[in-house]
Amino acid sequence: MKWITRERPKIDRIACPWLIQKFVDTEAEFIYVPFDQVMAKSKELDAIPFDIPGVEFTHYNDECTFDYIVKKYQIKDPAVLIMSKIVRGADTDKHDIAKESAGLWAISAGLSHNITNDSELLKNGIVIYDALYSWATHLYNQNHLQNSPFENLLHEVYNKFLSEKKSNQKTPSWVKDLKEIIQDQIDAQFTFDLKKISNDLELNPSYLSREFSKYFEDLNFGEYVRKLRIEKAINLIQHSTYTLTEIAYMTGFSDQSHFTRIFKLHTGKNPSSYRKNARKSNSDTKGK
C-alpha cells in the first residue's frame, strides 16, 4: 500500500507513517511531493493521500490525521492513545493538551531543519516515535529523579527555592487579565484557544503554557479550565433545574459521557448521584 503527502514533514506526516507501519501495514510505502502535486501523483501512483485538506485521512475539528487513523483502524493500544494527545498538541500548536507536546515540536522542527532529504527525515523520525512509544508503554509513570536519592534531594531543594521565589515574586499583570478572559469564556460557553488567548495577551504561547501553572494552582491550562467548568457544573446541579445534558453543554463539554467522566474524576461521583445527594441534603436541611 502506498501513501502520499506533501513534502518537508515535521509532526503528523512522520507520526502517521510510523503509526501505519506499526499497526496498519508493515509494508507501507510513503511518498513526499510538493503540495500542488499530491492529488495528481496519488492517482498516477495509486497512493492514498493523507494530511492534506479535502481527503479522507486529514484533520477533523481539533484532531489531527494521527487521531483519525487511530479511530479509522480502531487502534486500542494504551501507549498509542497517550501518544495521540502528544502528537495532536504538537501538530496543532496546543501544547496544553500534553506537557510533552512542546518537546516533540522542538525536536521535530530541529530534525526537519537539519535533514533536507524527506526519506532520510522519515527514517530518523521513525526512531523518535519508536522511542516515544517505548516511553508511553513502559515509562509513562516514571519520573527521571525517582531512582536517585541524591538527585531527589536536589530536586526537593530546588522546589523549595522555587516555592520561596514564587511567594516573593510579584504577580505579572497578564495573570489578572487571563483570569478574566477564562472566566468570561466559561460563562459564555466559548471554546478555549490557547494560541488566540496568547495573541490577545501579547504573549508567546510556549511561554504562557510554561508559566501558567505558577499562577493557577499548579495546574496546567487544560486542568485549570476543567476545574472551573466542574465548579460551574456543581453550582448548576445544586441551584438549578437544568437537565444534566443541558449542564454538560452549558459548561463546555462536547457530550454528556465526557462530562460524566471528568465530573467523576474531580468529585468521585457521577453527576446524577451528586444531584441526588445534593437534593437529599437540601431536603434534610429544610426538614430541620
Segment 214-248, tens digit of pLDDT: 888 888 888 888 888 899 989 999 888 889 988 88
Please tell me the predicted confidence (pLDDT) of residue 153. 63
Please tell me the predicted confidence (pLDDT) of residue 255. 76
DSSP, collapsed to helix, strand or coil, labels residue 32 as strand
Question: From CA 99, how far away is CA 158, in angstroms rounded?
Answer: 20
Cα–Cα–Cα angle for 120, 121, 123, rounded to 5 degrees = 60
Residues of the chain with CATH 1.10.10.60: 173-287
Question: From CA 127, how far away is CA 22, in angstroms rounded?
Answer: 12
Provide the CATH topology of domain 173-287.
Arc Repressor Mutant, subunit A (1.10.10)
Is the pLDDT confidence value at 172 over 90? no
DSSP, collapsed to helix, strand or coil, labels residue 3 as strand
- Least reliable range by pLDDT among 17-21, 192-196, 203-207, 256-260: 192-196
Please tell me the predicted confidence (pLDDT) of residue 81. 95
Residue scoring higher pLDDT (239 or 160): 239
Please tell me the predicted confidence (pLDDT) of residue 163. 61
User: In the chain, where does DSSP find H-type helix?
Assistant: 12-23, 38-45, 65-72, 78-91, 101-114, 118-134, 149-168, 173-188, 194-201, 205-215, 221-239, 244-250, 256-267, 271-287
Is the pLDDT confidence value at 96 over 70? yes
Is the pLDDT confidence value at 261 over 60? yes
Question: From CA 165, how far away is CA 151, in angstroms rounded?
Answer: 21
Mean pLDDT, the chain, whole residue set: 86
Joined grid coordinates for residue 75: 487502534
DSSP, collapsed to helix, strand or coil, labels residue 49 as strand
The winner for highest mean pLDDT among 80-84, 141-145, 207-211 is: 80-84
The winner for highest mean pLDDT among 101-115, 163-177, 259-273 is: 101-115
Joined grid coordinates for residue 156: 526537593
Is the pLDDT confidence value at 188 over 70? no
Q: Give residues with Cβ within 8 angstroms of 97, minimum separation 6.
A: 85, 86, 88, 89, 222
Amino acid in position 100: E
Q: Report the Cα–Cα distance between both ends of the chain, in Å, rounded.
A: 73
Please tell me the predicted confidence (pLDDT) of residue 74. 96
**What is the model's pTM?**
0.54
Please tell me the predicted confidence (pLDDT) of residue 197. 81
Is the pLDDT confidence value at 286 over 60? no
